Amino acid sequence: MSRALIAVLIQRVFSVFLVGFGVLVLVFALLHLVPGDPVDAMLGETARPADREALRERLGLDQSLPVQFARYLGGLVRGDLGRSLYSDRAVTEMLAERLPATLELGLAALLLALSLALPLGILAALHPDGTWDRTAMGFSLLGVAVPNFWLGPVLILVFSLGLGWFPVSGRDAPGSLVLPAFTLGTAMAAILARMVRSSLLEVLGEDYIRTARAKGLSPATVVLRHGLRNALLPVITLVGLQLGALLSGAVITETVFAWPGIGSLLVEHIQRRDYPVVQGCVLLIAMGYVVANQITDLFYTLADPRLRERT
């Protein structure tokens, strides 16, 4: 392994820790500045002052904010995200229970987005200003304009309550993944289709594409092997950014469909002012963005031989 590659790896690891620490500081400060008291949420506003103070002392909320933050960081170094103020369960255990559902939903949404975006983008690039182009760009505009919190209930009304094809909510019933994945993946598919079209249109005008056609190669070989492969770099960039966005976008989708993932867990415990759980959820989502960016860099290296030579 070259020294340059080691330096790059060290720099990326340092950036991960730096982003994580910044997220912790920001979330911790905002949570404690927002009006509301977890003791009131747990005991109610009619509880006796002595009971309130006893619970506050047991949870460690009677200490100053710097002391609470230092204690949280100390636990984090040991791999301990703390315990829920509401259920007294370990936050790591709660996240481990909910993470598979979020990963399942995100992967399904990503596969759906790619299966829609690549064919639509390629057809639009091959028939500019034609019917396919107008159809693909109309879908792109509609997918970006329609928010998840509106599309989800509409799909429930039509395909669950109206036609009875899919479950209304939850994760256990057969077909329960279809509507949440479609809701989450539609916007991503719309953005990717536009990017595939514009990138492929630019590549198809290059000299080496005309040379490939002059050699008598089939149109499919010219487009897929020579055109699409070289048009993938900006698409990979966008996919990497959208991977992180899937985690944050899943907050709304999971809430609408009662999907038992990280997003719904975050919403539940924001309402309860459960600081450790909220901090753990936000930290996990932020790290998802960082990891997605690192994976994007790796795919960049695989897709572009020039980057492999530099490394």
Same domain, 66 and 207: no
The answer to whether position 59 is within a domain reads yes
Residues 160 and 198 occupy one common structural domain? yes
Is the domain of 219 the same as that of 282?
A: yes
Is the per-residue pLDDT at 194 higher than 80? yes
Q: Tell me whether residue 219 is in a domain.
A: yes
Give the up-direction half-sphere exposure of residue 60: CA atoms within 13 A in the CB hemisphere: 16
Which of 237, 277, 308 minimizes the C-alpha distance to 89?
Answer: 277
Tokens of 226: 């020579």
pLDDT score, position 307: 54
Residue 272 CB partners (closer than 8 Å, separation 6+): 38, 41, 42, 85, 86
161 and 278: one domain? yes
The CATH number assigned to the domain holding 262 equals: 1.10.3720.10
- Decide if 221 is inside a domain: yes
Of 295, 282, 205, 202, give the one whose Cα is nearest residue 241.
295
Mean pLDDT within 92-105: 88
Half-sphere CA count of 133, side-chain side, radius 13 A: 10
Q: Are 191 and 298 within one domain?
A: yes
Contact 255, 96 (CB under 8 A): no
Together in a domain, 185 and 52 = no
* DSSP assignment letter at 47: S
Count of C-beta atoms within a 10 Å radius of residue 24:
18
Q: Report the predicted TM-score, pTM, of the whole model to 2 decimal places.
A: 0.76
In a domain, 300, yes or no: yes
In a domain, 248, yes or no: yes
Report the share of the chain in percent with pLDDT over 70. Answer: 82
Residue 244: CB atoms within 10 Å:
20
* Residues 251 and 306 placed together within one structural domain of the fold: yes
Count the domains in the chain: 2
Q: Confirm whether 222 is domain-assigned.
A: yes
For 139-175, letters b (16+ CB in 10 Å) and e give bbeebeeeebeebbeebbeebbeeeeebbebebeeee
Q: Does residue 139 lie in a domain region?
A: yes
Residue 298 and residue 166 share a domain: yes
Q: In whole angstroms, what is the distance from residue 139 CA to residue 189 CA?
A: 9
Q: pLDDT tens, 157-173?
A: 888 888 888 888 878 77
Q: What is the pLDDT of residue 301?
A: 61
Check whether residue 50 and residue 158 sit in a common domain: no
Q: For residue 175, give its domain range.
A: 98-310
Q: 116 and 251, same structural domain?
A: yes
Structure tokens at 97: 């229970």
165: tokens are: 């094809």
* 38 and 149 share one domain: no
Beta bridge partners of 90: 83
Residue 93 inside a domain? The answer is: no
- Sign of the torsion angle spanned by Cα atoms 283, 286, 287, 288: positive
Residues 134-162 have pLDDT tens digits of 887 887 788 777 887 788 888 888 888 88
pLDDT for 43? 63
Q: Do 178 and 304 lie in a common domain?
A: yes
pLDDT of residue 8: 64
